[in-house]
Amino acid sequence: MPLLRVQGVEKSFGRVVGCRDISLSLMPGEILGIVGESGSGKTTVLKCVSGRMKPTSGSVHFMSRLGWRDMGTVSHSEARRIMRNEMGFVHQNPRDGLRMRISAGGNIGERLLENGARHYANIRAKAIEWLERVEIDPARIDDPPSTFSGGMQQRLQIARNLVTHPRLLFMDEPTSGLDVSVQARLLDILRGLVRRLGISMIIVTHDLAVARLLAHRLLVMKLGGVVESGLTDQVLDDPQHPYTQLLVSSVLQP
């Protein structure tokens, strides 16, 4: 039983086609990587399948806790409920996914409050638990993210999204802009969380090494369309499409 089913999604911006003919199914616990260069349409696809953008055509169905839902026809409030509680979205720039002027603890607790949690001590305890899980010193709980480094902000964003135990996490270039050592730490934390919590993920990245590390399956995109898809190591080690071969051969090995 899939968690997410996307059929024939297309998104146009006037005459410009952002993405076309996007179909995929995501099973529980599965990680799907979407790779491709800038302008390939990866982020457009992510926004369409996560409910953040309305597709021009096609459908997105999600298996929410209350049943199978067509994200194109659900009520505004139900969509909000699903996107807040059952899905997470980690933005490329943490500033787009955090409230920079409230405390780290406040960022994590916000969704709990929105869901009706009122017991202050419990919320604070949960925030501490999550700060530890993403390896942020709990002593920073009252500091605003504007005082955090980029890597810390990214980890806070992850914690903020996971506190409601979503079954599906969308990530848009989560490691770009981060130093390699910081990246390694983030990826390791993500791998651990995904395994422990059984979360499904759709991760957009232009970094094939990140894709290989995290994703079970890959979609390779070029100019709005999917040119190749399959098992991650098969796509990267036995690429069939000329564009995939180009991508793979362009990566420098240190």
Partner 1 sequence: MDRIIRAQGLFKSFTLHTQGRVRIPVLNDFHFEAGPGESVALVGPSGAGKSTFMRLLYGNYRAEKGIIEVRHRGGIVDLAQSDPHEILDLRRWTIGHVSQFLRIVPRVPALEVVMEPMLDRGMERENAAEKARGLLQKLRIPSRMWSLSPTTFSGGEQQRINLARGFSVFYPILLLDEPTASLDPLNAGTTIRMIREAMDSGTTVIGIFHDKDLRDTVAQRCVEITGIGLNG
- Residues in contact with partner 1 by the rule CB under 8 A: 27, 30, 181, 184-185, 187-188, 191, 195, 213, 216-217, 230-234, 237-238, 240-242, 245-246, 249
Cβ atoms of 243 and 220 closer than 8 Å: yes
Is residue 144 exposed (0-12), middle (13-18) or buried (19+ Cβ within 10 Å)? middle
Reference 88, options 187, 183, 165; nearest CA is 165
CB closer to partner 1, 8 vs 192: 192
In the complex, least distance from residue 184 CB atom to partner 1, rounded to whole angstroms: 4
In the complex, least distance from residue 19 CB atom to partner 1, rounded to whole angstroms: 21
CB closer to partner 1, 27 vs 100: 27
In the complex, least distance from residue 74 CB atom to partner 1, rounded to whole angstroms: 28
CB closer to partner 1, 156 vs 218: 218
| Whole-number Å distance between alpha carbons of 228 and 27 | 19
CB closer to partner 1, 101 vs 196: 196
Q: Tell me which DSSP letter residue 216 carries.
A: S
In the complex, least distance from residue 1 CB atom to partner 1, rounded to whole angstroms: 13
| Whole-number Å distance between alpha carbons of 110 and 144 | 14
- In 10-28, which positions are buried (b, 16+ CB within 10 angstroms) versus exposed (e)? bbeeeeebbbbebebebee
CB closer to partner 1, 44 vs 232: 232
CB closer to partner 1, 172 vs 228: 228
Per DSSP, the three-state class of 183 is helix
In the complex, least distance from residue 49 CB atom to partner 1, rounded to whole angstroms: 18
In the complex, least distance from residue 8 CB atom to partner 1, rounded to whole angstroms: 20
Is residue 79 exposed (0-12), middle (13-18) or buried (19+ Cβ within 10 Å)? middle
| Whole-number Å distance between alpha carbons of 170 and 241 | 26
